[in-house]
Amino acid sequence: MKSISLIQFLIEARRKGQLNAELSLLIEVVARACKRIAVATGKGALGDVLGGAGTDNVQGEHQKKLDVISNEILLEANAWGGHLAACASEEMEDPQPIPDAYPKGHHLLLFDPLDGSSNIDINVSVGTIFSVLRCPDGISQVDAEHFLQPGVEQLAAGYVLYGPRTLLVLTFGHGTHEFTLDREIGSFILTRRDIRIPEETAEFAINMSNQRHWQPPMKRYIHELLEGSEGPRGKDFNMRWVAAMVADVHRILTRGGVFYYPLDTKNQAQGGKLRLLYEANPMAFLVEQAGGAATDGHQRIMELQPTGLHQRIPVFLGSREEIELVTRYHQQDQTSS
């Protein structure tokens, strides 16, 4: 079978009118930066990249050295190409404008440079998540407010999973596609076109240790799954939790399943655990383009109007039938209370 590289795939998509040259360049640049992050994560102790950076990010979380390194790699790679108006990152309080020395483009890039960073030191999968928006016209100075666009406005989204293989999973609104990094030639090669998530599943991902902190509809739903073939669902469910959203979502895009990070008494003051703009929205776009669903327990994630750059929300995504059921339980609870 003839292999198709990411670059060839993007050129063909441009010919079909699915994306423009600037967006194509942006995706190539992000992919190139992620190859460097893959090298850095792969070095581990040999590259002195393990452990804490000794700093906290805007969310008050301790930064790992690789969080900081990955953020710098993405910023540096995206500064000079002329495809961006500004970047925003989990690791930075405010958006970073493109330096004056370089031409500015029409896109806004958001990223979580290294998702699942508690996995770094134990040599388990981590990933990079990104989302691309159009910069509103006539803006000379980009501010956080320009990034506050609902997920339906995303032009592209994707993640790179640094696992046994380095994979790029991408959408620009024409399906969700997977590319595997061929380390010998240094190129991402198309390995799955038009990924489809099965509508039904018997596998769920949730941090069960939070069970006692959940709200009643979540307790009810998970209790029914755990009752298995003896309960109302009439079938047994299996559970997985990698503690890196990228890896859990990738499993769902490979064999189906659902991923939940609900509201609980520990995270409700912040609105949830996961960040809307650079975690939930890009994952929702990828999952919907693969036939799955993504809600905040009440409504479609991609239709939420963001109110802050680092806003957090509850996340329910994956195989459509389960997401519809868990969302219904939350909606019923709201109407009865």
Give the binding site for ligand FDP (CB under 6 A).
115-118, 207, 243-245, 248, 273-274, 279
Instruction: Give the closest residue to 258 by CA, choosing from 304, 225, 209.
Output: 225
Residue nearest to ligand FDP (CB): 245
- How many residues would you count in the chain? 337
Residue 304, φ and ψ in degrees, nearest 5 = -70, 135
Q: Residue 117 touches which of ligand FDP, Zn ion, none (CB < 5 to 8 A by kind)?
A: ligand FDP
- CA distance linking residue 70 with residue 40, whole number of Å: 8
Residue nearest to Zn ion (CB): 115
Binding at 288: pick from ligand FDP, Zn ion, none (beta carbon under 5-8 Å per type): none
- C-alpha closest to that of 137 among 176, 111, 180, 104: 104
Please name the residue that has the structure tokens 């406005």.
Answer: 153
279 is in an annotated binding site: yes
| Interface with Zn ion, residue 67, by CB under 5 A | no
User: Which of 177, 273 has the CB closer to Zn ion?
Assistant: 273
Token pair recorded at residue 71: 């953020």
Q: Which residue, 91 or 322, has its beta carbon nearer to ligand FDP?
A: 91
Among 71, 88, 98, 115, binds Zn ion (CB under 5 A): 115
Alpha helices by DSSP H, 190-267: 216-227, 245-255
135's CB contacts (< 8 A; 6+ apart) are: 85, 86, 105, 106, 107, 108, 142, 146
- 118 annotated as a binding-site residue: yes
Task: Select from 57, 55, 38 the least CA-distant residue to 47.
Answer: 38
The residue (of 226 and 243) whose beta carbon lies closer to ligand FDP is 243
Q: Which is nearer to ligand FDP, 118 or 334 (CB)?
A: 118
| 325 annotated to a ligand binding site | no
- Partner whose footprint covers residue 226, from ligand FDP, Zn ion, none (CB < 5 to 8 Å by kind): none
Residue closer to Zn ion by CB (options 24, 128) is 128
Tokens of 171: 């959408």
| Binder of Zn ion out of 9, 31, 110, 112 (CB under 5 A) | 112
Classify residue 20 by its DSSP letter: -
- The verdict on whether residue 108 carries a ligand-binding annotation is no
Could you tell which of ligand FDP, Zn ion, none binds residue 295, using a CB distance below 5 to 8 A set by kind?
none
Binding site for substrate: which residues?
115-118, 207, 273
